[in-house]
Chain A
Amino acid sequence: NAGVTQTPKFQVLKTGQSMTLQCAQDMNHNSMYWYRQDPGMGLRLIYYSASEGTTDKGEVPNGYNVSRLNKREFSLRLESAAPSQTSVYFCASNRVRTPYNEQFFGPGTRLTVL
């Protein structure tokens, strides 16, 4: 039981390049999330998927797209990377309608855009 896995762990891009961050969970969770974490700030929600087949914008969606490929996988795409997207990206998942609604996080992807 690996929990939430993310690939790659590190990535360096040039401005304008594109890439996809991959996330998978093996806990049979319904909901999945993408966050970014910047120094001195709390995690901010980029996009989420409440269930397979649905996606919704979070707090900071501009410059990103997502795909909920199936119940296990949720990918985040940067079509044209910008230096402002340099950040650490975390994927999370949870099973909704539980009393504590705990989210489980992956190890993160550290992205640098030059």
Chain B
Amino acid sequence: KNQVEQSPQSLIILEGKNCTLQCNYTVSPFSNLRWYKQDTGRGPVSLTIMTFSENTKSNGRYTATLDADTKQSSLHITASQLSDSASYICVVTLAENQGGKLIFGQGTELSVKP
């Protein structure tokens, strides 16, 4: 069964600290993996997108990594800010010949405290 599991479910860190969010998936074959940020009361917004052949992608203070062998991805946030408080969602896209469907993780709720 195609699944995306994220950990931890929630995380509280102090402003200025780094953190890493995890995503394990069983989706195969897949075309890309992306991380979305969802602020409270808003729709998800894309942070990074990696194809199966890429193993790292950065967007400012956000760096995503992908290990296709172990089927794991991580999102590292450097020097966290209060505005980083949000839900972070890992999404894996099935290969086009498998329908191209998106498989969503349940999200990690990050809270950055002053």
Contact = CB atoms under 8 A, between A and B. Distances in A.
Interface string A75-102: 0000000000000001010001001111
B68 to A, nearest CB: 16
A107 interface: yes
25 contacts: A4-B43, A40-B106, A42-B89, A42-B104, A42-B106, A43-B102, A44-B104, A45-B101, A90-B43, A90-B44, A92-B43, A100-B49, A101-B31, A101-B32, A101-B93, A101-B100, A102-B34, A102-B49, A103-B102, A104-B46, A105-B43, A105-B44, A107-B41, A107-B43, A108-B43
Contacts of A40: 106
Interface of A: 4, 40-45, 90, 92, 96, 99-108
Size class of B's contact patch? Answer: 20 to 34
Most buried by B among A45, A90, A103, A107: A103
B93 to A, nearest CB: 6
Label chain B's interface by main secondary structure.
strand
Contacts, number: 45
A4 to B, nearest CB: 7
A102 B49 CA distance: 8
A105 B43 CA distance: 6
A94 to B, nearest CB: 10
Given A105-B43, A106-B43, A108-B42, A41 B106 contact: yes
B42 A107 contact: yes
A113 to B, nearest CB: 19
